[in-house]
Amino acid sequence: MSEIHPSTCRLCTAHCPVLVTVKGGRVIQVTGDPEAPLYRGYSCPKGRALPEQHNHADRLLHSQKRRADGSHEPIGSEQALDEIAAKLQGLVSRHGPRSVAMYIGTNTLPYPASGGMANALLRAIGSRMFFTANTIDQPGKQIAQALHGGWIAGQPAFDSAHAWLLVGTNPVISKAGGFNENPAQAFKDAVKRGLKLIVIDPRRTESVRRAHIHLQARPGEDPTLLAGLLHVIIAEGLYDKEFVEENVQGFESLADQVKPFTPDYVARRADVRVEPLVEAARVLARAKRGGVTTGTGSSFPTRGNLTSYLALCLNSVCGYWVRAGEKLRSPNVLLQPYTGKAQPYPPYKAWGYGEKLRVRGLTNTTPGLPTAALADEILLEGKGQVKALFCVGSNPMMAWPDQRRSFEALKKLELLVTLDIEMSATARLAHYVIAPRLTFETPGMTQTAEGIKYFGPGLGFDDPYAQYTPKLLDPPEGSDVIEDWELFYGLAQRMGLELQWVNFYGWGRHIESPPQVIPLDMQNKPTTDDIYEIMCRNSRIPLSEVKQYPHGHVFDEVNEVVQPRDEDCEYRLDVGNAYMMQELTQVRAEDFEARQRNPGYPFLLVSRRSYQFLNSSFRTNPRVARRKPYNPAFMNPKDLARLGLKSGDTVTIRSPHDSIRGVVEAERDLRPGVISMSHAFGANPDEDDDPRQVGANTGRLTRVDNEYDPITGIPRMAAIPVAVEASIPSS
């Protein structure tokens, strides 16, 4: 007999509430939960394919150990932890704590305790080599926030806005940028009530279909376009003069730097029409409430920091911040309470502190250590060389840029340990692959989705929403799988280390509450729920109360209005940061026409999100991958015709660094001269890379030591100049 239970999907930051049908100890169906508030029964194909993930024939039910010949064999989890602890202890003794590094990916989202426990182990060892996907995704958001400063009360909620600008993001598919709950319906409702949506994107995406204005610009010109919008707003005196006078510094410098970015110049450089560009600026400036959201698409090209910074400047020049007496957006529920005030918190140091890397002069930054430098930290011989790497919720062989370099780095490690549900590209190189529990075999909660607001304005839940879900089923009979966090707790026990859990609330200098440091009991192993209680200690709403609402709940009792500015507050938002203004000057000085005349590489390759896949996840899931398990190289039909190609042809895509093989597909809504592909596909460099079976890894086209950001280390990962030619079929 089947039973239906409410739960959460947890595949991404949307944390969609779902109904899970369980029969005979197996999950057989997942659908959206119509009783859950905010989401209105929404679920995506990936969430609905969770039964196939749980029941997949190739799911790892036992951990694996690498043999001398490179193959893997099963190993008991306890034995694996014994061996890993011994090897780890030896490496630390011989090479020091810095020889151990940790990499955390986006698939830690279903398991809120895993990242914190991994960090606790690394701190106990004495290493600061903690890397995350944040610095190869959208690091510019935190860099920009540090240089600009923030607004304690945050941005207006989307449902109260009159205008909104999306730059290089497609929330209908990605569910990112703060549009967690059914974004397609949210856009539809917003436009119906009168919101003017403006989108900058080389594709006519699903989000563009609701847009009032679509600037289908040349890839890589997002800073140019934002500077052009600011030029019009300032030149026409449309900015919020009262807000700027009271809360902003550096306005004169910003006005001077955007002066050369006239509509004619911007239109010529970005290849857009003058009229919609000017109209977009006027719509944004005249809106009483609004926001600007940047995404991965605007971060992957070079100058992602500047793009994010100019987006914040646009918010501040237009006064897009919540004022005293208005409803506070995103009041904490499973985080500690704080007082939302209508005032800035000041800029703070964005880089140049903490751990200093041995390559390219890179240091720690507000978004974390530069992950793009981790491969070189492994390859570079000498003191401080990384010898051991733990991969948590990640698949770096698919996600990291410069794939061949990453491949050589991971092969060089003396100890590579990854947590994975299958033998992924990274797992196939690992010395140990730890088999974890899956989504419905472990409890979950929405604190992670709530806390993402600290990564930039507009992120997280608009409303005081929270949900907890217990585990719904046991792992398959006869399996030996563990929770992610149990790996790090178990290693600490074996190494005689004391672990301390750290709850950190806030970002930069704006810390709503002092960090809480909680020693963990190393004798009596906690449960996952015990750890959740620690994570939610002193939360605004106790976790025990959130548990009373199995379908999730909006806690209206914590809604509050924004408090007035402190009388002695002298902080200001900085829209004229010298470093950013210098970079904007460099943009204006570029010979963009010469760059655009590139006969050897006439196309620009950009990234895109897939509705069926989440980075490298679900590529082997039979439900979502049966139609197309690869990542097509989408091109405008006119470009295909000009090259004598048709949809389904195999091509070679060549950059100045390397080449990949892909399968082209026509997309009428894509700007001519652009190739659009999803990232995190393909195979390892020494494996069969049939593009119709595994797709192509776009990270192979980039180099981490060329055209990289000097702060975050992120290389050019989009707007990559490429050439396209028909492939010769393999014999």
CA dihedral 571, 244, 461, 139 (to 10 degrees): -70
- Predicted pLDDT of residue 507: 47
> What is the mean pLDDT of the segment spanning 541-555?
97
**Percent of the chain residues topping a pLDDT of 90:** 83
Identity of residue 468:
Y
Sign of the Cα torsion 129, 133, 139, 142 reads: negative
Q: What angle do CA 219, 220, 223 make, to 5 degrees?
A: 125
d(CA 164, CA 667): 26
Kindly tell me the burial class for residue 690, based on how many C-beta atoms sit within 10 Å of its own C-beta (0-12, 13-18, 19 or more). Answer: middle
Residues 6+ apart with CB under 8 A from 623: 45, 48, 49, 52
Model confidence pLDDT, tens digit, residues 412-421? 999 999 999 9
Does the structure show a pLDDT above 60 at 508? no
d(CA 78, CA 100): 21
Q: What are the helix and strand counts (H, E) for the chain?
A: 25, 32
Band of the pLDDT at 727, cuts 50, 70, 90?
confident
For the record, the structure tokens of 656 come out as 């100045």
Give me Rg for the CA atoms of the chain: 25
526-to-117, 523, 663 alpha-carbon distances in Å:
12, 9, 49
**Average pLDDT, rounded, for the chain:** 94
List 351's β-bridge partners, or say none. 365
Model confidence pLDDT, tens digit, residues 135-194? 998 999 999 999 999 999 999 988 899 999 999 999 888 877 667 788 889 899 999 999
Does the structure show a pLDDT above 90 at 219? yes
Give the DSSP letter of residue 27. Answer: E
**Weakest mean pLDDT among 249-253, 345-349, 375-379:** 345-349
d(CA 574, CA 312): 10
d(CA 300, CA 303): 9
- Predicted pLDDT of residue 266: 98
Closest CA to 201 of 621, 669, 657: 669
Do residues 133 and 13 lie in contact, with contact meaning Cβ atoms separated by under 8 Å? Answer: no
Model confidence pLDDT, tens digit, residues 439-472? 999 999 999 888 888 887 778 888 999 999 999 9
- Predicted pLDDT of residue 728: 63
For the record, the structure tokens of 455 come out as 């990564």
Band of the pLDDT at 730, cuts 50, 70, 90?
very low
Does the structure show a pLDDT above 70 at 506? no
> What is the mean pLDDT of the segment spanning 29-50?
93
pTM (2 decimals)?
Answer: 0.96
Do residues 224 and 306 lie in contact, with contact meaning Cβ atoms separated by under 8 Å? Answer: no
List 507's β-bridge partners, or say none. 510
Identity of residue 728:
I
Q: Give the domains, in start order, of the chain with CATH numbers.
A: 156-320+573-580 (3.40.228.10), 598-726 (2.40.40.20)
Does the structure show a pLDDT above 50 at 365? yes
Do residues 422 and 448 lie in contact, with contact meaning Cβ atoms separated by under 8 Å? Answer: no
Do residues 455 and 141 lie in contact, with contact meaning Cβ atoms separated by under 8 Å? Answer: yes
Does the structure show a pLDDT above 80 at 731? no
On the CB side of 409, CA atoms within 13 Å amount to 26
Model confidence pLDDT, tens digit, residues 651-710? 999 999 999 999 999 999 999 999 999 999 999 999 988 999 999 999 999 999 999 999
